C-alpha cells in the first residue's frame, strides 16, 4: 500500500516514506541553513578554479552563485528560509532556491559533492561557532567563580566528606575548586574544537570524485586548519565528532550540576551559608512562602539530558558499518539540543554565581570542635608524636576538643593550593588567556568568511 508519490529534486518518493525519512530535518536543518550557504560558497569558488576545459564554473558564474547564496544566508538569519517536504533537507532546499533564481547555473552547484560531505561540513561550521560561544560561556563562569572567591578570600566554610563535617575549608577554596574544574572542561571543549576544525568537503559520498577538485582550497576558504585527509574517514567521522563534542559538554554539565547541588544544600534554611539572588526562584502557585531554586534543579536535570544525548549518539554509532548510513541523520537532534542546553545552562549559572551572597555568621557558626580533630592530631605530630598515636589520642578524647577560631585555622594552611595558598591571580591569567584565544579565533574566521562573500 503506497501513499501518493511526491516529486522531489532526486525523483518521485512515496509521501509517507518521504516524511518518515526526512523526519525532523525539515525543522532541525533550518539551524544549518547559514552553514550550508557558507559551505556551498566555498565549493562554488573552488569549482571555478579547477584546471579543466570547458570550466565547470567560470569565475563570473561562481560570483553569481555566491551572491545568491549570500541572499539565502540573510534569509536564513532572518528566520525566513523554508525547507519543504519535497526538499527532504536543507541541502536540496538551497539547491532548489539557486535553481529557481539562476536556472541551469543552480543545477551545477552539486558538481563534485554529495549531501554526505555537505552535511558533514555544515555541522562542523555550525559547531565551531557554538563551541567558541560555549568556551566563552565557560570562561565567564570560571570568572564568576573566581570573582566570588576574590570577594571572600578569607571566609571560613566547613569542608565536608560524605557530606559530613570534615575539616576547615573556605569559600574561596570551594569556589576556585569549581573554577579549576570549569577550566579543565574548557580544555576538553578546546580539544573537541581542534578535532572539529578539519574540512570534509570534497569527500563527496565518501569515495572522492574523478575530477581535479582542490580540497585544500575549500578548506582554506572556510578557515579550517586543514582538510580531513582520507575521504572515507571524512564521512565516517560524522557522529563520532558529535559524540566527542557531546562528551566534552557532558563533562562541563557534570561540573555545573555539582555546583548547583552544592548551592542547593548551602542555601537550605538549615545551612544558610549562601543566598541565591531572589530572581532565580519562580515561586509556588499555592505556597506564598516559597522561593525555590528552580534554576539549579533544572541544571541538574539538563546535565542528565546532555549525558543522555551523548549516550544516544554513541548508541546510534556503535553498530553502524563503515561508509555513510542514514542513521547518522538521527544524531543531529541530540547534538543540536546538547549544544543549546549546555550553553544556556552555563550562562545562567554564571549569572547565579555572580549574584551569590554569603552569611558569614552562619558560615563560622557551623564549625565545632570535631572539624578541628585532624588539625589537632597534626599539632601533636608537630610536638613529636607519631601520627597514628596522635590520631588515637584525639579519637579517644573527641568530647574534649574545643571549637577553635576557623579564621586562624584556614590561615595556617599556607602550602600550594591550601586555604591560604590559593593562586587566584593565576586563575585570572588562565581565564584571560582563553578569552584572548577565543577572540582571535573568531576574528580570523570572520575575516575568512567576509573574504569568501566579498
Ligand atoms: N539529511 C541527510 C543527513 O542528515 C543528508 C545526507 C543524505 N545522504 C544520503 N545518502 N541519503 O544525513
Check which CATH number belongs to the domain holding 31 and give it.
1.10.275.10
Q: How far is the CA of 52 from the centre of ligand 1 (A)?
A: 29
Report the alpha-carbon distance of residue 132 to residue 441 in Å, rounded. 8
Task: Clarify whether residues 146 and 77 are in a common domain.
Answer: no
Tell the residue nearest (CA) to atom 7 of ligand 1: 115
Examine the residue annotation and report whether 284 is marked as an active-site residue of this protein.
Answer: yes
**Residue 3 confidence (pLDDT) above 80:** no
Q: Given this model, what pLDDT does residue 1 score?
A: 62
- Domain limit, last residue, from 65, 92, 111: 111
Report how far residue 228's alpha carbon sits from residue 241's, in angstroms, rounded to the nearest whole number: 12
Q: Which residues fall within 8 angstroms of residue 334, CB to CB, at 6 or more apart?
A: 242, 246, 308, 309, 310, 312, 313
Ligand 1 atom with the smallest distance to the CA of 324 is 10
Whether the pLDDT of residue 357 is over 90: the answer is yes
- Give the mean pLDDT of 170-187: 98
Asked if residue 411 belongs to a domain, the reply is no
Q: How far is the CA of 121 from the centre of ligand 1 (A)?
A: 12
Q: DSSP strand E in 114-239: where? A: 156-161, 164-170, 198-199, 226-227
The domain total for the chain is: 3
Contacts of 436 (CB under 8 A, 6+ apart): none
200 and 140 fall within a common domain: yes
Q: Which of 91, 329, 336 to mutate to test the pocket of ligand 1 (most atoms within 8 A of CB)?
A: 329
Whether 196 and 294 map to the same domain: the answer is yes
What digits encode the pLDDT tens for the residues 232-267?
A: 999 999 999 999 999 999 999 999 999 999 999 999
Same structural domain for residues 133 and 189?
yes
**Same domain for 242 and 228:** yes
Asked if the structure places residue 128 within a domain, the reply is yes
The upper half-sphere exposure of residue 85, i.e. CA atoms within 13 Å in the direction of its Cβ, equals: 14
pTM: 0.96
Query: For residue 334, how far is its CA from the centre of ligand 1 (angstroms)?
Result: 16
Q: Does 158 map to a domain?
A: yes
Which residue has the CA at smallest separation from atom 12 of ligand 1? 329
CATH number reported for the structural domain that contains residue 361 in this entry: 1.20.200.10
317 secondary structure, DSSP code: H
pLDDT > 90: percent of the chain? 94
Same domain for 103 and 75: yes
Residue 39 has pLDDT above 80, yes or no: yes
List pLDDT tens digits, range 274-315.
999 988 888 888 888 888 999 999 999 999 999 999 999 999
Distance, in Å, from the CA atom of 59 to the CA atom of 324, rounded to the nearest integer, reads 32
Residue whose C-alpha cell reads 572567591 in the numeric block: 149
Position in ligand 1 atom list of the atom nearest CA 328: 12
Distance 73 CA to ligand 1 centre (A): 21
Query: CA 421 from chain center: how many Å?
Result: 31
Answer yes or no: do 139 and 186 share one domain. yes
Cβ burial 165-185 (10 Å sphere, 16+ → b, else e)? bebbbbbbbbbbbbbbbbbeb
Catalytic: 59?
no
Residues 132-171 pLDDT 10s? 999 999 999 999 999 999 999 999 999 999 999 999 999 9
Query: CB-based contacts of 153: which residues, under 8 Å, 6+ apart?
Result: 170, 172, 422, 424
Ligand 1 residue neighbourhood (C-beta within 6 Å): 25, 89, 115-116, 119, 324, 326, 328-329, 332
Same domain, 266 and 125: yes
- Residue 53 lies inside a defined structural domain of this protein: yes
- The answer to whether residues 180 and 121 belong to one domain is yes
pLDDT confidence of residue 284 = 85
Among 58, 81, 111, identify where a domain stops.
Answer: 111
Asked if 145 and 178 count as a contact pair (C-beta separation under 8 A), the reply is yes
Rg of the chain, C-alpha, whole Å: 28
58: domain range? 5-111
Q: Which residues contact 377 (CB under 8 A, 6 or more apart)?
A: 387, 390, 391, 393, 394
The position carrying cell 574534649 is 400
Distance separating alpha carbons of residues 240 and 242, to the nearest angstrom = 5
Of 111, 136, 156, the last residue of a domain is 111
Nearest-atom number in ligand 1 for the CA of 22 is: 1
Residue 408 covered by a domain: no
Distance from residue 301's CA to the centre of ligand 1 (Å)? 31
Same domain, 281 and 385: no
Amino acid at each position: 500500500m503506497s501513499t501518493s508519490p511526491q516529486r522531489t529534486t532526486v525523483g518521485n518518493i512515496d509521501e509517507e516514506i518521504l516524511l518518515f525519512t526526512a523526519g525532523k530535518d525539515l525543522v532541525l536543518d533550518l539551524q544549518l541553513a547559514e552553514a550550508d550557504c557558507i559551505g556551498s560558497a566555498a565549493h562554488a569558488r573552488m569549482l571555478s578554479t579547477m584546471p579543466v576545459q570547458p570550466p565547470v564554473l567560470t569565475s563570473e558564474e561562481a560570483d553569481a552563485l555566491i551572491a545568491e547564496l549570500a541572499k539565502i544566508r540573510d534569509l536564513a538569519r532572518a528566520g525566513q528560509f523554508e525547507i519543504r517536504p519535497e526538499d527532504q533537507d536543507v541541502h536540496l532546499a538551497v539547491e532548489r532556491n539557486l535553481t529557481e533564481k539562476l536556472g541551469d547555473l543552480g543545477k551545477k552547484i552539486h558538481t563534485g559533492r554529495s549531501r554526505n560531505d555537505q552535511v558533514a561540513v555544515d555541522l562542523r561550521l555550525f559547531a565551531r561557532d557554538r563551541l567558541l560561544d560555549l568556551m566563552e560561556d565557560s570562561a565567564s563562569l570560571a570568572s564568576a567563580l573566581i570573582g566570588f572567591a576574590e570577594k571572600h578570600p578569607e571566609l571560613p566554610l566547613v569542608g565536608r566528606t560524605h557530606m559530613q563535617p570534615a575539616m576547615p575549608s573556605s569559600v574561596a577554596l570551594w569556589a576556585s575548586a569549581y573554577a579549576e574544574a570549569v577550566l579543565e572542561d574548557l580544555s576538553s571543549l578546546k580539544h573537541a574544537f581542534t578535532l572539529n576544525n578539519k574540512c570534509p568537503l570534497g569527500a563527496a559520498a565518501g569515495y572522492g570524485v574523478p575530477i581535479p577538485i582542490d580540497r585544500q582550497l575549500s578548506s582554506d576558504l572556510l578557515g579550517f586548519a586543514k582538510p580531513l585527509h582520507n575521504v572515507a574517514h571524512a564521512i565516517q567521522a560524522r557522529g563520532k565528532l558529535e559524540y566527542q563534542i557531546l562528551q566534552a559538554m557532558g563533562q562541563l554539565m557534570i561540573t555545573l550540576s555539582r555546583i548547583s547541588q552544592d548551592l542547593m544544600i548551602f542555601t537550605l534554611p538549615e545551612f544558610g551559608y549562601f543566598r541565591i539572588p531572589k530572581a532565580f526562584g519562580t515561586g509556588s502557585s499555592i505556597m506564598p512562602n516559597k522561593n525555590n531554586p528552580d534554576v539549579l534543579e533544572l541544571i541538574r536535570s539538563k546535565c542528565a539530558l546532555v549525558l543522555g544525548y551523548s549516550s544516544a549518539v554513541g548508541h546510534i554509532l556503535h553498530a553502524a558499518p563503515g561508509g555513510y548510513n542514514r542513521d547518522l541523520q538521527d544524531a543531529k537532534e541530540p547534538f543540536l539540543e546538547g549544544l543549546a542546553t549546555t550553553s544556556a545552562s552555563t550562562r545562567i549559572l554564571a549569572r547565579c554565581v555572580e549574584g551569590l551572597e554569603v552569611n558569614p555568621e552562619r558560615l563560622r557558626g557551623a564549625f565545632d570542635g570535631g572539624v578541628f580533630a585532624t588539625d589537632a592530631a597534626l599539632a601533636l605530630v608537630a610536638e613529636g608524636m607519631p601520627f597514628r598515636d596522635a590520631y588515637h589520642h584525639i579519637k579517644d578524647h573527641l568530647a574534649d576538643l574545643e571549637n577553635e577560631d576557623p579564621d586562624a585555622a584556614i590561615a595556617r594552611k599556607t602550602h600550594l593550593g591550601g586555604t591560604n595558598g590559593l593562586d587566584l591571580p593565576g586563575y585570572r591569567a588562565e581565564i584571560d588567556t582563553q578569552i584572548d584565544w577565543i577572540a582571535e579565533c573568531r576574528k580570523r574566521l570572520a575575516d575568512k568568511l567576509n573574504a569568501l562573500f566579498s
